[in-house]
Chain A
């Protein structure tokens, strides 16, 4: 290695050459001066004259050095041409090497780019490293609302946020915001989108400046209801308004409210949440007007404000943590604790012990950070392994080739090529190979990225703006280059040291050096087999896990069912008008051709939404009733019949269950079990909320069905008729059709236009797709890990093939001799395949062992299964053996067909 570095330095000795040239010129000057003195000119005059004669020394030095530089460039182009010619002459070698590298580099770059976008990329705001996020984990009492901006531990109550905002001394400012679904109407067309309601400090904490007009300022969020002003995000302004410069001062309708556009946000900024870009920004105090039914500005038990701040210069995050937690604790004990009346002393202690956490916030806040982390990390490890395998392939190929080229190099050295020249040429060759691999990897990466983007869009997963990351691309190509230098140049350097005679001898008879090289290649294959096994096993585990997930009984009949959602309250409908609209949608769809049944619900099935409340039910065992928490949904008449949830006892809802009629509810099995209702369920009375009379009668019991997510355990759920519900902002509809549900999708917008053309229709898809969307994470994991595992195995197989083919070529004489002495073709085949079987078997066992040991780390990603599934282990090793034997068969077959005479004459 030291030798190699020395060589490289000699090659790049620009500095030393420069000094030499200067010394040479200085000597020239002295000589000239001495000549002039000899000729009888005075010393001073001689010096001047000589200097004058010499002219610009620096320029001369430059010119002289340029001779060498142009020479180096000339040589490199010459070497490059030679390298390309060689590549063309051995196309299999080149294609295998370049393809291996392309796959390794491409996959690695794409995954890292995703990783970077989701987990690492800082917000595009000035100095993101001083931003901090606030969160308060621990028990909450009251209502908690959280969304894409982060976990439910991150939200504060509005009064708490304002208290902290007033007090803070360690931060330059504290910002609060809430992401909301927005129906955005401009010039007669309404589209659904997303907005952020922000405190006036939001933009100043982020230190952002508007592109046009102004941002949300201090006067906008003084009082509840706020000022009806809106700031457009840059991207939305370009998309929807064509970047019109006269947009400031115009009005648009957000959730039915007329708002004045006061400005456009900065470029590249669309909020602080990855995967949930905001199109509009409104004052946080507008929430009561933008979200009908909200009025919790004074409620300390209503948690919904996400907040972040910026550290003052010189304040460390630890100092901020201590200071803010102190302030928070004082408010908790002084103001909020007295509000907790109905909880035990234990719970009070837990409530007060909650810590306010201050975490680095350079990347903003997003649930994607938490959700995607294990998956993306896993993929990163996997692609890293693929890159290693690809480099091992390159190394093996280069080693094999440099052994084959020992003679060529020795001959060239003997006819006068310097070692430096030979090494330089080999460097150029491997660099060319690595760079071509890198270029192919770039193309492959762009393609993969397009596939990733395509697979993300239809399922409504987040507009993640992913681009190839140049740094990773450079890193991957660097790794490939290094592999090339170590495995391509080093052995060649070694072989140039040997004399021509010994090199020619080595070529004729296998030397001990060749045997150690063969051992090294075998070790490389072994490592590839091991890694491929690990990847195959993990892919198998994910595939089985997905199979488990898709076997889950959703509890409804998902076939021939179409769903969509509308939010009329966000379009300015009053609660009564909205309810009216829901009824009309049901009625209109019911008479549409191709519709068997139709119904609605306030909570879409398996769409990730949960609405929960406290309930109290009278029981036979407890006089004061059993209290618990339960999820609920307000549903239309015929809901259970339409989606296919069997009614076990009592009845479902009918059109008669409407406002004015006695209040009724239907509960599921888990609800009955959780509250200990016993066998007589129908007829009991219950209430929602923590106080008031028992005003609802349970009229039915239904079978359990999945509620929020396919993978979640079924929770306790009670259903009420939406026609008795006062506040319903939106509803999801379910249409059962005997037709192909995909073809029915077009019918829905046509029907809805006749009712209200301005109402955006969301999440229109078949129920089967909805389930698939809900399982998206699992599906993506399986698809990706399976494809990477197959790629890795394929690469390992290609490597195996390359090494075997090479060793068969090397052993032509030996094998020919064996055949001449009477070995049957099958015996020769077995001889070659024996090493394949050994390498694969050992690799498989090592890989299985590694997977066995590492299994724990991926268990959290698996659904209802252990990481040590014997089935998966056995089939992974089986696949590996099959592919390896397939790779080994061609060289083995070729070996058995060697013509003895030709083999003996060959050398």
Chain B
């Protein structure tokens, strides 16, 4: 669609949903706020495409991990606000530990300690 600034990265396949769930732990939020939160928290490295964000949100909703409702935003506009469900919370912790094991494994592979090399 358009060129990206070199500093921003695409999220890995499958991690977007995890990131969204994590963002919602802080409290209910609408789509734009979620995207902004991800960008700011990742220090502007991770950008969420609108074209991926909303399908992902709706996918999470259809699986019952988040619930959506129409609420008035602080500016008085109708906004679709997502909140984490109990099932979503469970999914988040499962997914998080899976990710942590994965990233630990990756860093072990990429930065091998001496013992493992010898």
| Residues of A in contact with B (beta carbons under 8 Å apart) | 20-21, 23-25, 27-28, 30-32, 34-35, 52-56, 59-60, 63-68, 71
Contacts and interface: CB of A to CB of B under 8 A. Distances in A.
Interface string B35-70: 110000000000001110011011100100000000
Given A24-B31, A55-B51, A60-B54, A67 B59 contact: yes
B30 interface: yes
Contacts of B104: none
A52 B2 contact: yes
B39 to A, nearest CB: 10
A460 B51 CA distance: 70
B55 A63 contact: yes
B74 to A, nearest CB: 11
Contact of A67 (B33, B49, B58): B58
Interface stretch (B75-83, B94-102, B108-116): B75-83
Contact of B1 (A31, A55, A67): A55
B89 interface: no
Contacts of B30: 27-28, 31
Given A35-B36, A67-B55, A67-B59, A25 B50 contact: yes
Nearest to B49: A55
B36 A30 contact: no
A32 B47 CA distance: 13
Contact of B54 (A56, A64, A71): A64
Nearest to B54: A64
Contacts of A28: 30-32, 35, 50, 54
A25 B73 CA distance: 14
A53 B50 contact: yes
Nearest to A418: B64
A71 B64 CA distance: 12
Contacts of B2: 52, 55
B31, B54, B59 — most chain A CB neighbours (10 Å): B54
A28 B51 CA distance: 12
Contacts, number: 65
Given A24-B54, A28-B54, A67-B62, 18 more contacts: A21-B54, A21-B58, A23-B80, A24-B31, A27-B32, A27-B78, A32-B32, A34-B75, A54-B50, A60-B50, A60-B51, A60-B54, A60-B55, A64-B57, A64-B58, A67-B55, A67-B59, A71-B62
B33, B58, B73 — most chain A CB neighbours (10 Å): B58
Contacts of A54: 50
Contact of B55 (A20, A23, A27, A66): A66
A830 to B, nearest CB: 55
A67 B78 CA distance: 23
Contact of B78 (A23, A59, A63): A23
A562 to B, nearest CB: 78
A17 to B, nearest CB: 9
Contacts of B1: 55-56
B11 to A, nearest CB: 16
Nearest to B35: A28
A68 B32 CA distance: 21
A64 B58 CA distance: 7
Contact of A59 (B31, B32, B51): B51
Contacts of A64: 54-55, 57-58
Contacts of A23: 78, 80
Interface residues of B, number: 23
Contacts of B31: 24, 27-28
Contacts of B32: 27-28, 31-32
Interface of B: 1-2, 30-33, 35-36, 49-51, 54-55, 57-59, 62, 73, 75, 77-80
A24 B33 CA distance: 12
A30 B74 CA distance: 13
B80 A27 contact: yes
Contacts of A55: 1-2, 49-51
Given A35-B36, A52-B2, A55-B1, A25 B62 contact: no
A21 to B, nearest CB: 7
Closest 7 CB pairs of A and B: A31-B32, A67-B58, A71-B62, A64-B54, A63-B55, A24-B80, A28-B32
B10 to A, nearest CB: 15
Contact of B51 (A32, A52, A63, A67): A63
B77 A30 contact: yes
Contacts of A68: 58, 62
B15 to A, nearest CB: 18
A165 to B, nearest CB: 72
B85 to A, nearest CB: 11
B55 to A, nearest CB: 5
Nearest to B63: A71
A25, A28, A35, A52 — most chain B CB neighbours (10 Å): A28
Contacts of B59: 67, 71
Nearest to A25: B54
A67 B60 CA distance: 10
A215 B36 CA distance: 79
A24 B78 CA distance: 9
Contacts of A34: 75
B30 to A, nearest CB: 7
Nearest to B32: A31
Contacts of A25: 50, 54
A24 B75 CA distance: 15
A16 to B, nearest CB: 12
Contacts of A20: 80
A560 to B, nearest CB: 81
A65 B61 CA distance: 12
A424 to B, nearest CB: 14
A63 B51 CA distance: 7
A68 B63 CA distance: 10
Contacts of A21: 54, 58
B66 to A, nearest CB: 13
Contacts of B75: 34
Contacts of B51: 55-56, 59-60, 63
A146 to B, nearest CB: 71
A25 B79 CA distance: 10
Contacts of A59: 51
A609 B79 CA distance: 86
A67 B61 CA distance: 10
A443 B62 CA distance: 40
A776 B65 CA distance: 71
A21 B35 CA distance: 16
Contacts of B79: 24, 27
A841 B30 CA distance: 69
Contacts of A60: 50-51, 54-55
A68 B59 CA distance: 7
A600 to B, nearest CB: 85
Nearest to A30: B77
A55 B51 CA distance: 8
B114 to A, nearest CB: 47
A536 B1 CA distance: 74
B34 to A, nearest CB: 10
A322 to B, nearest CB: 68
A63 B54 contact: yes
A30 B33 CA distance: 12
Nearest to A35: B36
Contacts of A31: 30, 32-33, 73
Contacts of A63: 51, 54-55
B79 to A, nearest CB: 5
A21, A27, A60 — most chain B CB neighbours (10 Å): A27
Contacts of B62: 67-68, 71
B64 to A, nearest CB: 9
10 contacts: A21-B54, A24-B54, A27-B73, A27-B79, A30-B77, A63-B55, A64-B57, A64-B58, A67-B58, A68-B62
Nearest to A28: B32
A52 B62 CA distance: 29
A23, A30, A60, A67 — most chain B CB neighbours (10 Å): A67
A664 B67 CA distance: 106
